[in-house]
Amino acid sequence: MTIAGRDGLMSTTVKWLFVCTLLVTSSSVRADAASDARAHYDRALKFYDEGVFDAALVELTRAYELNPSYRIVYNIAQAKVAMRDYAGAIESFQRYLREGAGQVPNDRVSTVRAQITDLQQRVGSLTIESDVAGAEVLIDDVAVGATPLQAPVLVNAGVRRVSVRHPDYPARSERVSVAGGEQLRTSVLVRPRQSEAQASSEPGPPPAAQTVAAQAQPLQLQPAAAYEIKSEGPDRTAAWLMTGVTGALAATAIVCAVVAQSQNSDLDARRSLPDQDEAAFNEDRDALKRTALFADVFTLAAVASAGVTTWLWLRGDGDSAERASLRVGLAGAGLQLRGEL
């Protein structure tokens, strides 16, 4: 009996020691959490004073997670106002009044409600519908719930991007213009439309069929023409070359003509001589005929070359709607040149 009593006493003592250990450990954890929350809160104040409001909001959120307090929620709302996230500020102010109910002074309650009324002119209400259930809904890349949404979403005034994502369908997005105090309804369809499904399911012709179809097209042949030269634009090199050729031909023709004139004068002077050598005279006369023939040939060549040269210099440029052309052919017993500009 005594032993049983001792065992019962020892068992009770062990239980109390265990409970005391838990209480001490819990108190230590709470103290550490409160210390960390205070450090986040102090950093948030520094960021806010420096105008780095997004960093201040992150620090305040961490502080609230470690030590939930309605007072921190009020500061979170102020940071969102500074970031112009008026919809988020309204939600934080309302949560501040709910969590601090009975503890927030009446004058502070009136001030917060006045702020909420003012901010409501800077936000709109957006009802979002979709044709699939269980799709994630995002507004400006921030998730707000899954379809079907149970209530309208409060959004900042301006142009908002509404996205709906479902693992079985392509993601869809819509841009919605929201005015302050406005209530809108938008529908984002996720399922592919009938026309899109048909377009994706109908294959195009195979490459081989396309190649055969291309080969089956009749060839467009141009009618044959006699020695036609078409110009695609000014060729100044050819023009300068032909100018040189024309000059050389003209110079040769002139030299031949001068020589023929000299030979002719010499023959005229020798005709009056009484003791003229008939064989030598005939030979010189044949030489005169050859020289005159050369002069005529080079003259004709110079004229033809001058025509080609003129055509090269006068034809249209590469940007002209009409191209110059030159036709070369035989006409009767001579050479015919015809140019078109």
CATH code of the domain in which 174 resides: 2.60.40.2070
Residue 271: Cβ within 10 Å count: 9
Looking at 62, 85, 119, the residue that finishes a domain is 119
Q: What Cα–Cα distance (Å) separates residue 211 from each residue in 203, 221, 290?
A: 16, 21, 65
Q: Are residues 24 and 111 in the same domain?
A: yes
Whole-number pLDDT of residue 237: 78
In a domain, residue 131? The reply is yes
Q: Which of 169, 193, 217 is the last residue of a domain?
A: 193
256 and 303 co-located in one domain:
yes
Q: Let me know whether 35 and 107 are in one domain.
A: yes
Q: Are residues 260 and 327 in the same domain?
A: yes
94 located within any domain = yes
98 and 41 both lie in a single domain: yes
Quote the number of domains for the chain: 3
CA distance to 247, 248, 303, 308, 327, per residue, from 244 (Å): 5, 6, 13, 12, 22
Residue 249 and residue 158 share a domain: no
Q: Which of 119, 143, 158 is the last residue of a domain?
A: 119
Among residues 153, 102, 107, which one has the least CA distance to residue 130?
A: 153
Total-model pTM: 0.49
Q: What mean pLDDT is reported for the chain?
A: 76
Based on the domain organization, do 13 and 110 belong to the same domain? yes
pLDDT at 288 over 90: no
At 45, which CATH number? 1.25.40.10
44: which 2 tokens? 């948030």
Per-residue pLDDT of 8-20, as tens digits, reads 544 554 455 444 4
For residue 76, the Cα-to-chain-centroid distance in whole angstroms is: 40
Same domain, 6 and 115: yes
For 4-47, how does the pLDDT look when each residue is reduced to its tens digit (9 = 90+)?
454 554 455 445 544 444 443 444 446 677 888 899 999 999 99
Print the domain residue range for 294. 228-340
Count other Cβ atoms within 10 Å, centred on residue 103.
9
The answer on 132 and 112 residing in a single domain is: no
